[in-house]
Structure 1
């Protein structure tokens, strides 16, 4: 086999493995959330399908695949069908740039535990997160429903607002590493994680990714008590499932990126790199679920006020302080 053939085979194997792992994780993250919320609320949660309810994700998948695929009269057909894919695909594509662990030597070849290591990886992440906005906006608009349209307008405003603070919170990370490459950002934290230097940036990023995932207390685009189910009210079957799975893939991806940018990625003492990385990802997933079980939803005006008048000014101030600190160190 030529070197090019081997490299292509390695890339295809990594893509297949990552997709299998992430889709399985997303399915069982739904199960884990239901069990954890049941524990928080003093009830049992799913425990009927399979031992300890472990086959519940499979039952949910069968249910979604066999449900009627309904489209409202007057809906824009092609955009209505396209929107769920636009919500899920950017989250899946972001997986290509996430570094899952330290490079391994396999059959004499160094294999990076990352599908592709781009020199503009951080910018690719920001670009893909901005594309995900269209899934929410178009899904609500194409449904020909007032509830769905209100949800999509709320979602559009929320995601654009918090995407700004999320991007600004990452500027100090780039200033410290002088690189957009995610593997270099991780390697720069071999001695000390960036959360030590940038605790404010980490908090801003954490709050922003909660909003980007549309999780409580930022689930304004769905808001079951106000908008039925918000932007995906009119979706059923597997098209609803794509919105649903996309949200949980996003939790895993954004948790991995938070670990990459601020918690040293795969770096850590004693344990293997893969254990460190996935431990941090699961810790973020647990935090997201815990917040959902304990906090109330913000009002729309509170959400926008917090994004534009608190997080964005703090992120800009943090950039100025970081620049001042770097100049003094020169």
Structure 2
């Protein structure tokens, strides 16, 4: 029992540190890519090729003066960014990061908690995330912060509906709410042909994936859905009054949310840690190496979606707010309902129900 507890603590620590490091260097990657698109260099002074820039930014945020507005609710003002950071980090608990790891005869699952309602857990965490934004914006006693918080709340509620409906169609196909179960179900080959590890749900649910992808951008408050922090209208939106590491928590939470969202979409629709031809090498390499290859495959998929987040930000302008709400309520929700109906009809005709 003690060994299991120690293994879980180590796994949690590794995932947390990895999330923080990826969030740090995502800021550098985003600034470098923005510089490339705008025909400039981006950060290049701190360390070789600017590689130490995230560390310098972190030191700056830690050492800046702590300012709390005189009319702000102090407790809630601090609670907002703390809650945003907390909910961003706990989303990784149900993600399967790879096949079971075998070390010294012990089998260690690379998943903090394999619960049978993992998908519902993810949605619960996503729903809680908006409270950090809402509380921080309201407690600032600033009209721009409050407007940004209200926008965030209404945006998240609107797009959570379409996201949930798109997942219902996926669950009809997979038959499980477990994240590990969904990943394991994609270990075979597509329609009985092709290499193993290619039975990805995106081939069975292309419309559901597209709806989920759009909603994922909206839930992460990323361009073109970054209305809660729309600089041209709201200064900085919900974190206008926050400074020092409270501002850092909001910024870190956004990039950790991007990382976790990329891991979730890779697991739900792109096979997770499964990779093409995995059955062909399972007996020719050690179990330890086989697991590492699966972890590398998952992180390669995550890297693609992180790049996609950045690419979209610097190529597509943000929506007007009426366009954002119309897309969520008038287009995505009817499409997701139609996707459920189509999935049911196809499964019925195929004799799957």
SS of 1:260's partner is helix
Aligned twin of 1:311: 332
Distance, in Å, in 2 between the alignment partners of 1:244 and 1:116 is 27
Aligned twin of 1:47: 44
Once the two structures are TM-superposed, the CA of residue 269 in structure 1 deviates from its matched residue by: 2.1
Superposition RMSD on alpha carbons, in Å? Answer: 0.9
Distance, in Å, in 1 between the alignment partners of 2:23 and 2:39 is 24
**Residue deviations 1:235-263 (CA, integer Å, cap 9, x gap):** 00000000000000000000000001100
Aligned counterpart for 1:172 among listed residues 169, 174, 180: 169
Once the two structures are TM-superposed, the CA of residue 270 in structure 1 deviates from its matched residue by: 5.2
Distance, in Å, in 1 between the alignment partners of 2:214 and 2:259 is 15
Aligned counterpart for 2:200 among listed residues 193, 204, 228: 193
Asked if 1:8 corresponds to 2:2, the answer is no
Asked if 1:117 corresponds to 2:124, the answer is no
Give the TM-score normalised by the residue count of structure 2.
0.91
Asked if 1:290 corresponds to 2:311, the answer is yes
Once the two structures are TM-superposed, the CA of residue 21 in structure 1 deviates from its matched residue by: 1.0
Give the TM-score normalised by the residue count of structure 1.
0.98
How do residues 173-322 of structure 1 correspond to structure 2 at under 5 angstroms?
A: 173-191=170-188, 192-269=199-276, 272-322=293-343
SS of 1:165's partner is helix
Once the two structures are TM-superposed, the CA of residue 108 in structure 1 deviates from its matched residue by: 1.1
Asked if 1:135 corresponds to 2:156, the answer is no
Aligned counterpart for 2:56 among listed residues 34, 49, 59: 59
Paired positions, count? 327
Mark the runs of 5 or more structure 1 residues left unpaired by the alignment. Answer: none
Asked if 1:32 corresponds to 2:29, the answer is yes
Mark the runs of 5 or more structure 2 residues left unpaired by the alignment. Answer: 189-198, 279-292
**Residue deviations 1:185-243 (CA, integer Å, cap 9, x gap):** 01111121010010000011110010111111000000001100000000000000000
Aligned counterpart for 1:88 among listed residues 74, 85, 90: 85
Distance, in Å, in 2 between the alignment partners of 1:293 and 1:81 is 31
SS of 1:113's partner is coil
Q: Which runs of 4+ in 1 moved over 6 A?
A: none
Aligned twin of 2:196: none
**Residue deviations 1:263-289 (CA, integer Å, cap 9, x gap):** 010111258211110000000000010
Asked if 1:323 corresponds to 2:330, the answer is no
Distance, in Å, in 2 between the alignment partners of 1:91 and 1:121 is 16
